[in-house]
Amino acid sequence: RDKFELLEHFSQFGDVQDVEVLRDRDTSQTRGFAFVTFRTAAAATKLILKGYTTLGHTQMEAKPCQDPKETLQECSLRHSEP
């Protein structure tokens, strides 16, 4: 999945500030997870409480991330192919 596809998908939970898709630095292949930063903690909480979201045939697990300020605005997403 590319950044813009994820940005569009996650906007259903609230305003998305940023999407970072992690890639292997040698192969440039995605590493199977991304970080989604929402503009509000409420949007992140909405997704995290749901636990999973599906985009196409890809199911993604949502987990909270901790930042130094301890705000809940960022979610870690790991996907699994069916």
What pTM was computed for the model? 0.76
Q: Model confidence over 37-77: pLDDT tens digits?
A: 888 888 888 998 999 999 999 899 888 876 655 555 555 55
Q: Report the b/e string of 23-58 with b at 16+ CB within 10 A.
A: eeeeeeeeeeebebbbeeeebbbbbbeeeebeeeee
Enclosing H/E stretch for 12: none
Q: Tell me how far apart the alpha carbons of residues 48 and 63 are, in angstroms, rounded to a whole number.
A: 6
